[in-house]
Amino acid sequence: MTLDTERLRTFVAVARALNFSRAAEELGKTQPSVSQAVAALEAEVGQSLFVREGRSTHLAPAGKLLLEHAQVIFTEMERACAALAGMGELRQGELVVGTSDTLAYYLLPPVFAAFRKRYPGVELRLDNRPSPATAAQVAERSVDLGIVSLPPVPDSRVAFEALVPHEDVVICPPGHALGRKRAVEIEELAAHPLLLLDRTTGARAALDAAFARARVRPNVTMEMSSVEVLKRLCELGFGISVVPALAVARELQARTLARVRVRGLAGPPNANILRAHRLACSTT
């Protein structure tokens, strides 16, 4: 059985007023139309909703029960409308952002703080994964958008938008032989112990591709998932590393690390941090 919403609203008005004429005035309807709506609703439920004694009107047992449920129904409808309006105006809801640990730590905190200040009712949730995994999550709709640093793999379901410039650089102790240079060729890195991000990351994929183009085999002695660990190991002299330039500002200022540009690695297509979002018009 499906109840007509407009008839149910008319019933609630009569039930609260216990008077058909007053209910009609509140609803801006004629009394006959109100009486007809209640009669039609009684036919739908198969029971009398009101007891009419002369000029007095009282709720029948079925009417009392229906009123309880109708009040809940309309309250929930109002809450749903308010929630939808709040989402449209970003007063409430949830935003799930996928990004890497590096970008979440070095680039996005001021953005997140500004978002929370402007939209305090929206829950901001982060899903930290390497950039390739984040791009896949965007395609699968498991996150709302992603902030990634990788050459985008063509995907008809995902659009990529450049946000800020990105560059990977070599880091080493200030006294290291490479630290005295402004830039090095990608081939020069193969002669030194390399501490690199693991192979699940977009940065590692871009670096491996650069080594392959140069036809050199790197001496990778350690693989980590954390840029912070790589920086600390470099400071301790375990080798050199390749990390995003935005991740070493503090160490450069403290002069615990030196930064060297790498020819053959920086520049297109590895030149931007990107926003990845799902295409609404995709049919796949």
CATH code of the domain containing 178: 3.40.190.10
| Shared-domain flag, residues 230 and 259 | yes
| Residue with the two structure tokens 């079925």 | 62
The answer on pLDDT for 260 being more than 90 is yes
What value does the mean pLDDT take over residues 83-96? 69
Residue found by looking up tokens 């112990």 in the block = 193
Gap between the Cα atoms of 172 and 260, Å rounded: 8
The H helix count followed by the E strand count for the chain is: 10, 13
Whether the per-residue pLDDT at 195 is higher than 90: the answer is yes
Q: Which of 37, 61, 88 is the last residue of a domain?
A: 88
**Does some domain include residue 220?**
yes
pLDDT at 221: 95
Q: Are residues 61 and 10 in the same domain?
A: yes
Looking at 71, 88, 105, the residue that finishes a domain is: 88
* 209 within a domain of the structure (yes/no): yes
Q: Which of 88, 108, 131 is the last residue of a domain?
A: 88
What global pTM score does this model have?
Answer: 0.60
CA–CA distance, 197 with 194 (Å, rounded to integer): 10
pLDDT of residue 282: 35
Residues 161 and 172 in one domain: no
Same domain for 81 and 22:
yes
206: domain range? Answer: 168-263
Predicted confidence (pLDDT) per residue in 99-153, tens digit: 988 888 888 888 888 888 888 888 888 998 888 888 889 888 899 888 888 655 6
Better-scored residue on pLDDT, 162 or 127: 127
284 pLDDT tier (thresholds 50, 70, 90): very low
